Amino acid sequence: MLKKRRKSNLSVLMVTSEAVPFAKSGGLADAVSALAQELDRSGHDVRILMPRYQGIRRDSLYRYPTPFSVRVGQEIYTTAVYEGRLGDSSVVVYFVDHEELYAREGIYGTSAGGYPDNLRRFSLLSHAAFAIGAFIGWEPEVLHAHDWPTAIVPVIAQRRAAIGAAKPATVLTIHNVGYQGTFPVGELPHSGLSWIDLSESQLLHYDSLNLLKAGIVNADMVTTVSPQYATEIRTPRRGFSLDKVLAARKENLVGILNGVDYDVWNPEKDPYLDAKYTPETVALKDRAKHTVQSELGLPITNEMPLIGMVSRLVDQKGFEELASPGFGALPDILESGETQVAILGSGEERYEYYLRTLAHRYRNLSVVIGFDERLAHLIEAASDFFLMPSRYEPCGLNQLYSLRYGTLPIVTKCGGFVDTVEPASARGGTGFFIEEACPSAISEAALAAVGMWHSEHGRIDTMRRAAMKLRFGWEKAAPSYVSVYERALAAVRS
């Protein structure tokens, strides 16, 4: 069995459906692992609990010899627990190994939709957070849940405390309030919660079970991934119907900006780049530009800028406004003839199809459908501008990578973008804002950036250098989480 180094300070169990490098569908997976490692470096005892999905190989993990039993309401699940480490850190990761529920290809579902038994799957994980302590002989002071899959952790903690169990402090982080974990009321028994929890002040929301809502109501502290988003989700426009619930927790809702792993996203040592570069040698970006132009079949030229995108092709990311037949902004941008556009992404079929159609029509557009880590790095380095016309953006990672690569973001005025990008002005700036996520505003902002590239290249250069010097590391975010844990612990003790 792997031995865990004994530490002082806080003990925290992250309960999560995703963590890199084991399972990732989006920014949540990056955030959980990076935060855990940063807290570990600061001396806290942080561990992770997650499912063992099919893709997580057992042969490099330690298997506990005894079966692990978890009661979820009337049902008792018998599973195995595996243990591994997060990279070369001392963060221990516990995997709940339930063949029937977790040994599948997807995390949440397939391209046809979510798995029909998701409530069972993630309720088991949430209840396992309470059973694992006695099993491994380690009781964390803080349980940190992430998004809807583990949002009932705070609810379970409250219910157990009501019948005399010790209560750990609970923290819920909302990475995206657009995904709430809603299920038909009849599925309640699968959650292991009782009919008493089925009230408007708890699980029930517009005639459905709503896991995220129940988590927000019951957590000692709630966080989200940028200060601006913490404000926005308390408004009807961005709260996805949970604005009032969130507003009621205003005093205990904190926005903490996600960080970037600069070991991975750094043009000075990026292994995918032939020519690494610094703010002083930013002109070397052109080498990456030529590589991308040549690999993606775009004309090789320095005479026009390149706008890059790496994204899930979904409504949230602004693709309806950018790439809908007869309506989107992209043809407008391309027909200016003044810029090239390179898009890497996968997602909704209608966007994949239409983007491919446009790429056939316009020589200055190249589209790659798929998930490609190397190309994502190359596009970051090669592009002059990075376009993110999101309808809403809790934090956003790509604009942070872009800044480090001297690639000026063109972003909607919302969420994490507001906290991280400074609009171009006489004083400088690091990017460009799209006033509203609508086609005319998208093309206006993109063409303004392109115009500046053609007519005021010196200004673009100054902005690039300023952007490259900014840092959004986890060493800034982690102490804010420690403060949140301490507030949650104080709330439990009071």
3-state secondary structure of 254: strand
Give me the residue label for tokens 């195995």. 80
Minimum Å distance from CB 272 to ligand ADP?
Answer: 12
Query: Which of 34, 61, 343, 376 forms a contact with ligand ADP (CB under 6 A)?
Result: 376
CB of 188 to ligand ADP, least distance (A): 30
Instruction: Answer whether 355's CB lies under 8 Å from 367's CB.
Output: yes
252, with CB counted inside 10 A (0-12, 13-18, 19+), is: middle
According to the binding rule CB under 6 A, does residue 398 interact with ligand ADP?
A: yes
Task: Output DSSP code: residue 63.
Answer: E
Q: Which is nearer to ligand ADP, 79 or 311 (CB)?
A: 311
Which of residues 56 and 395 has its CB atom nearest to ligand ADP in the complex?
395
CA distance 79 to 97: 6
295 sits near ligand ADP (criterion: CB under 6 A): no
**Is 345 one of the binding residues for ligand ADP (CB under 6 A)?**
yes
- Interface with ligand ADP by CB under 6 A: which range of 127-135, 146-154, 233-241, 390-398? 390-398
The DSSP annotation for 350-414 comes to: HHHHHHHHHHHH-TTEEEEES--HHHHHHHHHH-SEEEE--S--SS-SHHHHHHHTT-EEEEESS
Please give the full DSSP string across 421-432, using - where no structure is assigned: --B-BTTB-SBE
Closer to ligand ADP by Cβ: residue 192 or 267: 267
Q: Which among 69-77, 203-211, 357-365, 392-400 is the span making contact with ligand ADP, rule CB under 6 A?
A: 392-400
CA 47 to CA 16: how far, in whole Å?
Answer: 11
User: What three-state secondary structure class fits 489?
Assistant: helix
CB of 108 to ligand ADP, least distance (A): 14
The residues in 13-42 that bind ligand ADP, with binding defined as CB under 6 A, are: 26-27
Least Å distance between CB 378 and ligand ADP? 11
Alpha-carbon distance of 409 to 398, in angstroms, equals: 9
DSSP per-residue string spanning 184-219: EGGGHHHHT--GGG-STTTTEETTEEEHHHHHHHH-
Report the residue number, 68 or 265, with the smaller CB distance to ligand ADP: 265
Of the residues 117, 141, 372, 436, which one makes contact with ligand ADP according to CB under 6 A: 372
Report 304-343 residues binding ligand ADP (CB under 6 A).
310-312
CB 53 within 8 A of CB 20: no
- Nearest-approach distance from CB 69 to ligand ADP, in angstroms: 35
Tell me whether residue 105 or residue 200 sits nearer to ligand ADP (CB atom). 105
Q: Which amino acid is at 13?
A: L
Q: What residues contact 239, with CB distance under 8 A and at least 6 apart? A: 177, 232, 233, 246
Nearer to ligand ADP, 107 or 395 (CB): 395
Stretch that binds ligand ADP, among 62-70, 92-100, 249-257, 365-373 (CB under 6 A): 365-373
Side chain identity at 161, as an amino acid letter?
Answer: A
Kindly tell me which residue out of 195, 327, 353, 371 binds ligand ADP, with binding defined by CB under 6 A: 371
**Is there binding between residue 346 and ligand ADP (CB under 6 A)?**
yes
Return the number of the residue (51 or 345) whose C-beta is nearest ligand ADP: 345
Assess 226 for contact with ligand ADP (CB under 6 A): no
Binding stretches for ligand ADP (CB under 6 A)? 26-27, 310-312, 344-346, 371-373, 376, 395-398
